[in-house]
Each structure stands twice: as C-alpha cells, then as structure tokens.
Amino acid sequence: MQELLAIIARGLVDEPDAVVVDKDEPAEDGTVVYHIHVAEPDMGRIIGKQGRIAKAIRTIARTAAIRTNEKVLVEID
C-alpha cells in the first residue's frame, strides 16, 4: 500500500524525489494511517481542484485495502 501511494504521488508532482509516504501503527480499531509528504510547491497538484485528486487517491487506497482486509486513511501533509 505504501508503495502504491508513493507511485501515484510521484506521477503527479514536479519533484518526485521529495515524495515520502509514512505509515502509522494500526489504531485500536485496526485503522492504518498513511501520510503523504510532498514539496510545498506540489501541494496543489496532490490536492487538486476542490480536493478531487486527494479524494481519488483516498478512494484508490480504500479499494486496495479491501483486498487485504485493512482499514486505511490517507492524509496529505
């Protein structure tokens, strides 16, 4: 999952070397939080107009997590 999010983010930004995806430990309810860190000028590219790209990234992550019976949240930092 971490690699999937990194590949998606690197494809969207101008500075792909600055993309870092971190994973938090699972919470009590089993939810895993992934944090996508990008360069400051690329924040708009990851979020998109009215958050559409960010929403699409979260949808892809949730769909991929279903295969492994995970609950995921994606935060863009």
Q: For the chain, how big is the Rg over CA atoms in Å?
A: 12
Q: State both tokens at 32.
A: 């895993």
Q: Which domains are delineated in the chain?
A: 2-76 (3.30.300.20)
pLDDT at 68: 86
The one-digit pLDDT tens for each residue of the chain (77 residues) are: 999 999 999 999 999 999 999 999 998 998 999 999 999 999 999 999 999 999 999 999 999 999 988 899 999 98
Token reading at 75: 């935060």
What separation in angstroms does the CA of 23 have from each of 8, 20, 27, 57?
16, 10, 12, 15
Checking DSSP bridges between strand 31-37 and strand 20-23, what pairing results, if any? antiparallel
pTM of the model: 0.89
Contact 70, 30 (CB under 8 A): yes
